[in-house]
Structure 1
Amino acid sequence: MTDADQVDRLILRTRDLPHEVAVREVNDFFRSLPEATAWALAESRPEQIGPLDGAPPQLRYRANHLILVAAHQRLHALVESRQATLEQRRRLVTLTEMLQPISTRLDVDAGGNRVVVPEPRQYLLVDPEGQGRMIEVQGDLEQAENVAVLVPGMNNDLERVRSQSVRAKEIREEVGPRKTATVVWLGYHAPIGLTAARSTESSRAGAPQLCRFQAGLDVVKSADAKTTLIGNSYGAQLVGRAMLAGVRADRVVLTGCPGVDPAVHSAAQLTPPGTQLFVARSRGDYVSYAEQHGPDPAGFPDMFRFETDNDKVSITGHMSYFEKNSESMINVGRIIRGDLAAVTRAAKTTPEEETRVLGVSWAGPLRTLAHSEAAEPISKVFDGLAALRTISTTPSRQQALDSARKRPGSSTARTPEGPAR
């Protein structure tokens, strides 16, 4: 039996096993292989190795780079031949950006000369088709003392998730980059638009995938590394679903949560043993107030609600929990590195108190509207306007080609450099 055949049998055998059992078997298989054999499998079977939870990260980085390059070359050829659709032109620009190095570092070559070496981006998953999915790692996942996994919310397809990569970088800087790895986990199809976000379909489908990813993380990271799972907006709904399914993490942070489940009213119902729950709700956060999917965790009697404001930055609304220098961002950094005694606690205010204007609160009416029949047509109107804005920003054929050609080695005749042995 060939090594490739063994991989096929491994994937088939572990597909329906419990997550912890499956990822351990995958990890043991690759650790038993000679190094050259393992790398050869990553090179020859990238579609199988790239998304395989439990496989060594370096192998997955290389496999997903090859998947990314192949998709880029395919779309580049379609654009050059004038056969690409509007969506394919947009995707080519996205893949070009994903192939750009995340940074550079100084090194010394064989002759003793100082050289600038590009640091390629590291992907544990690349799905370039349709809406797209990706899991990106910043930092040394296997040596980090702290690992933070960021789960984005609605409207994060492959084109729009770049802002999450920036956020992960800033979170890592806040914690202390030398001992921290951050992960952007877009391993699910996030709901696109308000209409889709009113459903729990995406989070229910994504929760098992997040559980298996976290199990795979446990077998490749340092045994002493602490993990923090961060769910923002609809991502908090998904993290909550994964917690109900038994996801493993040392600490969980939920920001701007639309609720987890109508039956969940306390952290005790949500957090598995050994997991600490931290929640943030800023003043005026309409997503939290609407409680589309259940009671807002910021109101649970047994959670830790952390402060979002300080003298420098005042957080209002739903979009600014990770703003630099805000108390919210500083507290996220403290939680990830385990400096829990320094986390500042927010006052125990209610949505009604936070939204009172001239003696009248708007949180209650918003919650009523969110659960009324009127919510669906209103959501469709907003989604229609958003779709028009997307069409207006679609790149032309020439713009797509120019973007692809900015990166050296983007020609189909040459494979761009990336993670290697």
Structure 2
Amino acid sequence: MSRLADNFQFSSQECALIEATLDGVITELRPQQKALNQALDEATSKGYKIAPTGEVVYADEGDIPTGDPDAGVPEKEQERRGLEGNIFSVLRKAAEIDARYQIALSRLRVGRGLSVDDRKSQRDAEDISKIAGVAVGLESTPAKGTDPKKVRDWWNDLSKEEQEEQLALNPSVIGNLDGIPARTRDKANRVNLDRLIAMYPEPAPDEVKEKHDGFKAIRERLLNDEGKNPEPLLLGIGPEGQGRAILSYGDPDTANNVAAYVPGLSTTLEDVGGEDGDRAENVWDSANKADHQNKTASIVWLGYDAPQGPEVADTERGRRGGADFGKFLDGVQATHQGDRPHVTAIGHSYGSFTVGQAAQREGGIPADDIILVGSPGTGAQKAEDLGVGANHVWVGAADSDLVTHAPSKGESGYGVITGPIGAGIAHLNDPHELWFGQDPASNEFGANRFDVAFGTPDSHSNYFKPEGGDSLDNMGAIVAGHPEKVTFQGRR
């Protein structure tokens, strides 16, 4: 049954390629057909006959020009040859097009006893793209990073047939374009995921093993969650950098409430198929509990290279990731059906810095609320700097979470010179200044601090679990647009 399902999926992809190929040959032959009809009409209007071979002949023997051979080719004969040359030129061009597409269609044949190979499907798509890509308009596909509203308008202007051709020939692009509908992205990315896994034999080479294992973990999660409520949608997948993955529980295009969670330190692709996928699902459960009458979509967004070690102290990953996260949220708004959704951006650990950078970009982010949990700072000194209003910035910080007490750069530098005691003295001078700016849980920052469990030394990972106390319930209430259900604790 598993093989049969794979065969059906492969057959569907190949049929879409056949459709694109036929559309390509029709598109290329149509102007040749028009040119041929014009040439035929011109020849017949001047009194010539056209042989089945395309030759132009005189209607009557009496029309054949005669005269002195030394005087050169008669004008009438020159006209006949010119008309015949036009017809033959069109026929040669049509024959070249026909031969090229015959080759393309022959490559889509498979033998009896179909054995699916995702790499073959990808190679077929690449071949057809080279042959038919221009004819079916692949060059019109927007580049990644294009304004999501422009992407949305481009996609909506395509016919159903043209959309199917883009999906067949360009799934790795369509699946990762902000501004493309969520279900379309999911359809493309499931194809992308299978192809990414098929790129390497088992066992995968050491240099790609971590990404390879991550892709397999995500596919396993999708298979295990098939048919459940909420349904998982794969909104992004790719091999760039450490790997990219965006997984949603619920459809953000039709949801009333959308939560987009950015994970932080040490997150890998495998975590999207594991703990971080669980966190997104837990947020959905909590929001649904707070308001089961409105639909929620809860997303884990790993669209950047999360720090894996010492680079956690660097700001560049967060800045680049913040720009891409902002563009993703622009896409959520662009493709949403009906009234504007209530959007909550959630950042955990270094992910809170990434969210903070997105919020401080020019124009801000299209979010109604921002949640920061386990945060070492956002790069902002005040909650109001995040652009959604201080009353819509929410912070969860367990007092036992060491990351939320991360020393500032100045304290660290002073400690290198004077030792732990000197660093401690420096921290007393400004206890609420963290590595990436003001402590979001501090009174000076001015955000809402919601209640979480005091926790243990490992509480940094518990905000999305029952061990986090009221943390998950509070996040669900915020995502569902019910701030009156949030429980609070005092700022630092």
Candidates 322, 333, 336, aligned match of 1:218? 333
Quick check: 1:171–1:333 contact (8 Å CA) kept in 2?
Answer: yes
Comparing both chains, which one has the higher relative contact order based on Cα–Cα distances under 8 Å and sequence gaps of 6 or more?
Answer: 1
Say whether residues 1:103 and 2:221 are aligned partners: no
- The structural deviation recorded for 1:331 is 0.4
Report what 1:417 is aligned to.
Answer: none
Report what 2:173 is aligned to.
Answer: 48
Report what 1:324 is aligned to.
Answer: 466
1:7–1:146: structure 2 CA closer, same or farther, 3 Å change rule?
farther
- The structural deviation recorded for 1:36 is 3.1
Say whether residues 1:187 and 2:312 are aligned partners: no
Query: Could you tell me how far apart the structure 2 residues matched to 1:335 and 1:57 are?
Result: 23
What SS is found at the alignment partner of 2:142? helix
Match for 1:131: what amino acid? Q
Quick check: 2:352–2:375 contact (8 Å CA) kept in 1?
Answer: yes
Query: Could you tell me how far apart the structure 2 residues matched to 1:85 and 1:286 are?
Result: 37
Segments of structure 1 that go 5 or more residues without pairing to the other structure are 107-117, 351-421
What SS is found at the alignment partner of 2:367? coil
Report what 1:240 is aligned to.
Answer: 356
Quick check: 1:308–1:315 contact (8 Å CA) kept in 2?
Answer: no
Q: Give the 5 Å matches for 1:172-183.
A: 172-176=284-288, 179-183=295-299
Match for 2:247: what amino acid? E
- The structural deviation recorded for 1:237 is 0.4
Q: Give me the TM-score of the superposition, normalised by structure 2.
A: 0.61
Say whether residues 1:338 and 2:465 are aligned partners: no
Segments of structure 2 that go 5 or more residues without pairing to the other structure are 1-26, 28-132, 407-433
Write the deviation string for residues 303-362 of structure 1: whole angstroms up to 9, x where unpaired. 1111113xxx957642211112721111001100011112111123x3xxxxxxxxxxxx
Quick check: 1:98–1:121 contact (8 Å CA) kept in 2?
Answer: no
Quick check: 1:250–1:275 contact (8 Å CA) kept in 2?
Answer: no
1:146–1:274: structure 2 CA closer, same or farther, 3 Å change rule?
farther
Quick check: 1:104–1:119 contact (8 Å CA) kept in 2?
Answer: no
Quick check: 2:250–2:297 contact (8 Å CA) kept in 1?
Answer: yes
Query: Could you tell me how far apart the structure 2 residues matched to 1:148 and 1:265 are?
Result: 24
Write the deviation string for residues 106-160 of structure 1: whole angstroms up to 9, x where unpaired. 9xxxxxxxxxxx9974212111355111111111222211110000001112133
Report what 2:259 is aligned to.
Answer: 148
What SS is found at the alignment partner of 1:229? strand
Candidates 28, 33, 38, aligned match of 2:163? 38
More helix by share: 2
Quick check: 1:42–1:60 contact (8 Å CA) kept in 2?
Answer: no
Report what 2:451 is aligned to.
Answer: 307
Q: Give the 5 Å matches for 1:114-193.
A: 121-128=232-239, 130-161=241-272, 162-176=274-288, 179-193=295-309
What SS is found at the alignment partner of 1:298? coil
Query: Please, what is the CA RMSD of the aligned residues?
Result: 2.6
Match for 1:70: what amino acid? R
- Between Structure 1 and Structure 2, how many residues are aligned? 321
Quick check: 2:305–2:317 contact (8 Å CA) kept in 1?
Answer: yes
- The structural deviation recorded for 1:54 is 0.2
Quick check: 2:260–2:298 contact (8 Å CA) kept in 1?
Answer: yes
Candidates 213, 221, 227, aligned match of 2:343? 227
Report what 1:251 is aligned to.
Answer: 369
Match for 1:98: what amino acid? I
Report what 1:86 is aligned to.
Answer: 206
Match for 1:236: what amino acid? S
Query: Could you tell me how far apart the structure 2 residues matched to 1:281 and 1:44 are?
Result: 47
Match for 1:224: what amino acid? R
What SS is found at the alignment partner of 1:318? helix
Quick check: 1:250–1:274 contact (8 Å CA) kept in 2?
Answer: no
Query: Could you tell me how far apart the structure 1 residues matched to 2:216 and 2:275 are?
Result: 16
1:45–1:338: structure 2 CA closer, same or farther, 3 Å change rule?
same
1:121–1:270: structure 2 CA closer, same or farther, 3 Å change rule?
closer
1:144–1:296: structure 2 CA closer, same or farther, 3 Å change rule?
same
- The structural deviation recorded for 1:89 is 4.2
Write the deviation string for residues 6-44 of structure 1: whole angstroms up to 9, x where unpaired. 4534424x84x6xxxx21111011112222321221121
Write the deviation string for residues 32-74 of structure 1: whole angstroms up to 9, x where unpaired. 2222321221121012211110011122111111111111112
- The structural deviation recorded for 1:91 is 3.9
Query: Could you tell me how far apart the structure 2 residues matched to 1:285 and 1:198 are?
Result: 17
Q: From the CA coordinates, give the structure whose radius of gyration is larger.
A: 2
